[in-house]
Amino acid sequence: MSQYMTRTGVLPGRAHAGTPLAPPRPRSLGTHSRPRRVAMLSVHTSPLHQPGTGDAGGMNVYIVELAKRLAALDIEVEIFTRATSAALPPSVELAPGVLVRHVTAGPYEGLAKEDLPAQLCAFTHGVTQAWAGRRPGHYDLLHSHYWLSGHVGRLAAGRWGVPLVHAMHTMAKVKNASLAEGDTPEPASRVTGETHVVRAADRLIANTDREAAELLRHYDADTDRVAVVHPGVNLERFRPDSRGIATGRAAARARLGLPQDAFVPLFAGRIQPLKAPDILLRSVAYLLAERPWLRERITVPVVGGPSGTGLARPEGLQKLAARLGISDVVLFRPPVGQDLLADWYRAASVLVKPSYSESFGLVAVEAQACGTPVIAAEVGGLPVAVRNGVSGVLVRGHDPADYARALYGFADDPSLSARMGAAAARHARRFGWDTAAVATAEVYTAALHERRLRG
């Protein structure tokens, strides 16, 4: 069944507390009116950047994988992103049918994401210059990612007379409602910007039903313009070892230099308060205080680099490990490429994802696709990404003691990881990028169809 779903049963533009969205109905408008060429906008982070550090993360993976699969459907994609170096070429072919265009907007280096709103006019100018150099009608549609890109998208789409499809990825009001202790709230200017984008977009793509409901509740989105498309996972890259989960785990640990008999709870992602890697460290300290004999056989890899407000204290997590007295069991590793990341997933006993906010949680699905269960916070899209009690464990709140209790089960019964891992791999197969691309193409088709009807 298509993952593009129309929504009924909620008054357009309004969401009522406690009123669920009606059961989804698949909608397909065929392939005859699909766009030929789409301009994607990713202002603040390039699809060419390494996920796991800086501002590069799940959204980067999302854009790259979606663009490749759309190209396989004969929809050409040109991705516009801000140039961060004078040495970058004007354009780079990411894959057949996918081109990345570098737009000069502000200083190449040393510009934080929070400084980018001042450069949006320059970025919009660069995008419209690219349009001016093409024949009329070169791009059929704009697809913007994150609110900064949405601001550019609404201006460019209005000028070009094409539909705007927007994916929020994260929302300021949702993040501010569940901030980590000491984290910085998103500014009012972002809330205002997101509100303008929601009003301007022909279609809004939400990752889950919960995100769709948040768009309605917090931003008064028009119900008829919201579509739910679950992100995918690269099932060719992220998969269990063909020899079996247990054999694959042993082989991955040998390649990574990890002890074969260790209990290995893994954190993978950007190091910032929002992602809550500190919760894992605190839960491990709690675990070892209760069961000190585990110290001899636990290894806790943290794979990723500082990002967002975490950049203000790049060594904060290492200092926390020292204060907790667990530096001897924690391995800090820099961000790695996707193939090596798959090895880290396979090597782990369990992935721990205690985020305060997640629109979906691609890392959780990637780990499960490799046959590794997940302990995750019951927030955002993670209850969709993780099947509680089957492919992993969902934890309410962010009390380290609760995460320690979830870890107990895997530490006490090593076979639990393999049993849940097999179920996790089956669960993850629901989330393929090919399916997501077809569903996204249907969203594009609907937006084009409506635009043509309006004349």
For CA atoms 436, 437, 441, 443, the dihedral sign is positive
Per the annotation, binding residues for 1D-myo-inositol 3-phosphate are 44, 55-60, 113, 146, 170, 190
The gap between the terminal CA atoms of the chain, to the nearest Å, is 31
- Cα angle at 453 between 447 and 455, to 5 degrees? 105
Task: Choose among 116, 59, 128: nearest CA to 84.
Answer: 116
Per the annotation, binding residues are 44, 50-51, 55-60, 113, 146, 170, 190, 270, 275, 336, 345-346, 348, 358, 366, 372
Task: Choose among 426, 356, 354: nearest CA to 391.
Answer: 426
* 3-state SS class at 9: coil
* Cα 226 to Cα 245: distance, rounded to the nearest angstrom: 39
* Cα 243 to Cα 227: distance, rounded to the nearest angstrom: 39
Q: Count of CB atoms within 10 A of residue 118's CB? A: 11
1: Cα separation from own chain's centroid: 23
| Contact yes or no for 15/448 (Cβ under 8 A) | no
Structure tokens at 173: 């009001």
Per the annotation, binding residues for Mg(2+) are 345-346, 348, 372
| Contact yes or no for 170/119 (Cβ under 8 A) | no
Amino acid 38 reads V
| Contact yes or no for 370/240 (Cβ under 8 A) | yes
Nearest-Å Rg of the Cα atoms of the chain is 22
* 3-state SS class at 101: strand
* Cα 353 to Cα 266: distance, rounded to the nearest angstrom: 9
* Cα 191 to Cα 193: distance, rounded to the nearest angstrom: 5
Q: What is the 3-state secondary structure (H, E, C) of 122-152?
A: HHHHHHHHHHHCCCCCCCCEEEEEHHHHHHH
* 3-state SS class at 164: strand
* Cα 2 to Cα 442: distance, rounded to the nearest angstrom: 9
Task: Choose among 95, 99, 94, 218: nearest CA to 168.
Answer: 218
Structure tokens at 145: 């990612």
| Contact yes or no for 134/80 (Cβ under 8 A) | no
Structure tokens at 431: 């989330």
